[in-house]
């Protein structure tokens, strides 16, 4: 990253800002409107904050000569001036100021330009939409940081009014190189998933990435998915959890980080 702050630094700043309840608009005050308008929109405040921080951390200097992350941290320090959280932002500011900014070069641009295009189809039950959007909001932040793949996660929420949803879904499956399947009791009872989506996804041409969204026992007769290893998070006591069983924000973040790592490694093995 351009500024030199580590992901550990970024996550610490993110957690502190969330705990302090700082307003996003106030944090972005004074930063170029053009830059702020270019920041990707996320579905949850947690994911939005992490996206903002990562994008600012990737920028050395805007065309007006300002440093967006420095302005953001100054705003955060001011907004929390009478609270203990202010110390975290002050320390981050010092680290940002003292860390030399590396020069960008053509090799870095070449690396970005040669990312592998990776369209992914997201299969889920409509009943689980809110939970899926929360997970994907976090996961897509990690996707943006991939040095190998240019991820494009497609889900049916992008279908516009008046469009033929059946055609749009089937076209998206045909264009995909991988499929993330969010497994839950509702997933296995949805007729369209069983009869239309899974037969196309399980054609042998796509990387299948099953994720345990809600607790469910995969049987040998479960739509042919018993042959695939599905992802769930291992806890400290050796048990495994579905995403819905992660009660704290820390556990949810851990689930998503480990899921992203598994997806990246699997795809590097298959298509990287």
**Closest to 91 measured CA to CA, from 16, 194, 197, 36:** 16
**Interval 47-72: pLDDT, tens:** 888 888 988 888 878 877 888 999 99
Strand partners, 210: 181
* Entry pTM: 0.61
pLDDT band with cut points at 50, 70 and 90 for residue 223: low
- Predicted confidence at residue 54, as pLDDT, reads 84
Phi–psi pair at 5, nearest 5 degrees: -70, 135
Q: Higher confidence at residue 47 or residue 182?
A: 182
pLDDT in tens, 13-47: 988 998 889 999 999 999 888 788 878 777 778 78
CA within 13 Å, CB half, 193? 24
Q: How confident is the model over 85-92, as a mean pLDDT?
A: 90
Identify the CA nearest to 1 among candidates 63, 56, 73: 56
Q: Rounded to an integer, what distance in angstroms lies between the CA atom of residue 34 and that of residue 53?
A: 16
Closest CA to 41 of 182, 131, 144: 144
pLDDT beyond 50 at 181: yes
Mean pLDDT estimate for the chain: 85
Q: What is the tens place of the pLDDT at every residue in 109-162? A: 334 447 888 899 999 999 999 999 999 988 988 888 888 898 888 888 888 788
Domain extents for the chain? 7-104, 115-270
pLDDT at 28: 93
- pLDDT at position 222: 63
Q: Which residues, 6+ apart, have CB-to-CB distance to 159 below 8 Å? A: 165, 168, 169
- pLDDT of 3 reads 47
Name the CATH code of domain 115-270 (choices 3.40.50.880, 3.40.50.1370, 1.20.120.1200, 3.40.50.10140): 3.40.50.10140
């Amino acid at each position: 990253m351009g500024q030199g702050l580590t992901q550990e630094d970024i996550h610490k700043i993110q957690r502190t800002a969330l705990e302090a309840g700082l307003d996003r608009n106030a944090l972005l005050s004074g930063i170029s409107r053009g830059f702020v308008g270019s920041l990707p929109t996320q579905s949850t405040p947690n994911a939005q904050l992490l996206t903002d921080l990562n994008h600012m951390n990737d920028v050395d200097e805007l065309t007006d000569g300002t440093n967006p992350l420095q302005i953001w941290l100054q705003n955060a320090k001011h907004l929390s001036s009478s609270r203990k959280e202010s110390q975290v932002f002050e320390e981050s500011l010092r680290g940002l100021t003292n860390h030399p900014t590396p020069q960008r070069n053509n090799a870095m641009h070449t690396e970005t330009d040669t990312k592998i295009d990776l369209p992914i189809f997201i299969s889920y039950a409509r009943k689980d939409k809110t939970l899926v959007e929360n997970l994907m909001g976090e996961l897509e932040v990690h996707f943006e940081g991939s040095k190998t793949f240019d991820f494009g996660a497609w889900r049916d929420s992008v279908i516009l009014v008046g469009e033929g949803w059946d055609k749009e879904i089937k076209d998206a499956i045909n264009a995909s190189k991988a499929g993330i399947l969010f497994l839950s009791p509702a997933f296995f009872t949805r007729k369209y998933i069983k009869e239309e989506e899974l037969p196309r996804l399980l054609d042998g041409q796509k990387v299948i990435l099953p994720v345990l969204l809600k607790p469910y026992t995969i049987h040998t007769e479960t739509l042919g998915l018993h042959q695939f290893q599905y992802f769930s998070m291992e806890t400290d006591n050796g048990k495994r959890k579905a995403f819905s069983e992660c009660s704290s924000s820390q556990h949810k973040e851990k689930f998503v980080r480990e899921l992203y790592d598994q997806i990246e490694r699997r795809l590097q093995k298959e298509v990287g």
